[in-house]
C-alpha cells in the first residue's frame, strides 16, 4: 500500500530573472513502512522536496497524496492539523523549544491539537529513547544526541503517517549518529513507521530500503536495495 504519492511536483522560488526552479516535475510513491534515503548534491532540491512532503510549504504545481489525502487541497488550518497529526519532522539542529521541558517538547504537537496525550504511547516512546530520567530537563541541559532523541519523540508521539528527517545525524559524532540511526530504524521496523531521510552520508543511505538521488530538482536515480 502506498502511504505517499507525489505527482509532477514542481517548486519555483521567486519570480522573473531571479526565479529558481528547485524541483522540476518530480513523481514517485512510497510504500507504508518503507525506509527511503534521499541523496544528492547541495542545492539539488532535497530540503524543498521534504518540506513539500510534510505540508510545510506549497508547491508551484503538482500533487502530494499522503494516505490518500490530497494535502494541498487542504486550507491552511486543515494543513496545520494534518502536519501535527501525520508528519513527524526531524531536523539537523533539533528545533526544540528552549523554554519547554523535554516532556513538554515531546507532547507539544498533541497538546496544540487539544488532544489528551496517550500516556501508554508516551511512556513507550520515552523508554525506547532512554529519556525517562530527563523529562523535566530543558533542551540546553542535554547532549546533542539526547536532544535529537527528544525531537524523535516529538515526531513520533502522534503516530504520524510519515517521519521525515533532514540530515538527522549531521550535527552528531559517529557514536551518537549510529545510535540515532539505530533508533530511527527500530521505529521503522518495529512500528512499520514510514521513514524518509535526507543524508550526505553514504553509510546511512546504504542502510535504507531504497535510495532516491536528486539532481537539479529531478529524480536522477531511484534504486531499491531491500524490496
Ligand atoms: P538541498 O536541500 O538539496 O541543498 P534545497 O531544496 O535547499 O536543496 O534548495 C534547492 C534550490 O532552491 C537551491 O538553488 C536553493 O538556493 C533554492 N532555495 C531553497 N529555498 C529557497 C527559498 N526559500 N527561496 C529562494 N530559493 C530557495
Ligand atoms: P502552529 O500551528 O502554532 O504554527 P506548529 O504546527 O508549527 O504550530 O508547531 C509548533 C512547534 O511544534 C514547532 O516547533 C514545530 O516544529 C513542532 N511540531 C509540530 N508538529 C510537529 C510534528 N509532527 N513533528 C515534529 N515537530 C512538530
Query: How much distance in Å is there from the Cα of 214 to the middle of ligand 1?
Result: 13
- Please tell me the residue having the least CA distance from ligand 2 atom 17: 109
CATH 3.40.50.300 holds for 36-55+85-224: yes
Nearest listed ligand to the Cα of residue 80: 2
Q: Using the predicted structure, report yes or no on whether residue 60 has a pLDDT greater than 90.
A: yes
Ligand 1 pocket, 93 CB below 6 A?
no
For ligand 2, atom 1, name the residue with the nearest CA: 80
pLDDT tops 90 at residue 227: no
Query: So where are the chain's domains?
Result: 36-55+85-224
Ligand in closest contact with the CA of 38: 1
The tens digit of pLDDT for each residue in 125-180 reads: 999 999 999 999 999 999 999 999 999 999 999 889 999 999 999 999 999 999 99
pTM, 2 dp:
0.88
Predicted confidence at residue 115, as pLDDT, reads 76
Q: Is there an atom of ligand 1 within 6 Å of 14 CB?
A: yes
The predicted structure's pLDDT at residue 179:
97
1: three-class secondary structure by DSSP: coil
Q: Which residues line ligand 2 (CB under 6 A)?
A: 80, 83-84, 87-89, 95, 97, 108-109, 112, 154-155, 158, 160
Does residue 92 surpass a pLDDT of 80?
Answer: yes
Q: Which residues pair with 28 in a beta bridge?
A: 6
Residue 75 scores a pLDDT above 80: yes
Pairing outcome for strands 162-166 and 87-90? parallel
CA of 106 to the centre of ligand 2 (A): 10
- Is the confidence at residue 120, as pLDDT, over 80? yes
- pLDDT of res. 114: 73
Pick the residue whose CA is nearest to atom 6 on ligand 1.
45
Amino acid at each position: 500500500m502506498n502511504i505517499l504519492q507525489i505527482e509532477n511536483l514542481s517548486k519555483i522560488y521567486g519570480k522573473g530573472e531571479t526565479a529558481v526552479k528547485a524541483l522540476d516535475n518530480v513523481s514517485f510513491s512510497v510504500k507504508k513502512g518503507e525506509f527511503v534515503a534521499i541523496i544528492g548534491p547541495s542545492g539539488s532540491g532535497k530540503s524543498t522536496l521534504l518540506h513539500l512532503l510534510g505540508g510545510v510549504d506549497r508547491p508551484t504545481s503538482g500533487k502530494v497524496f499522503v494516505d490518500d489525502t490530497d494535502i494541498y487541497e487542504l486550507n491552511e488550518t486543515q494543513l496545520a492539523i494534518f502536519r501535527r497529526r501525520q508528519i513527524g519532522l526531524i531536523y539537523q539542529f533539533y528545533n526544540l523549544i528552549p523554554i519547554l521541558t523535554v516532556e513538554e517538547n515531546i507532547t507539544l504537537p498533541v497538546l496544540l491539537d487539544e488532544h489528551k496525550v496517550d500516556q501508554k504511547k508516551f511512556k513507550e516512546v520515552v523508554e525506547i529513547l532512554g529519556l525517562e530520567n530527563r523529562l523535566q530537563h530543558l533542551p540546553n541541559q542535554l547532549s546533542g544526541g539526547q536532544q535529537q532523541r527528544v525531537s524523535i519523540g516529538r515526531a513520533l508521539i502522534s503516530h504520524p503517517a510519515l517521519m521525515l528527517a533532514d540530515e538527522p545525524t549531521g550535527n552528531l559524532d559517529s557514536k551518537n549518529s549510529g545510535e540515532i540511526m539505530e533508533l530511527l530504524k527500530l521505529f521503522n521496523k518495529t512500528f512499520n513507521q514510514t521513514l524518509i531521510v535526507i543524508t550526505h552520508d553514504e553509510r546511512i543511505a546504504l542502510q535504507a530500503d531504497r535510495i532516491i538521488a536528486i539532481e537539479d530538482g529531478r529524480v536522477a536515480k531511484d534504486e531499491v536495495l531491500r524490496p
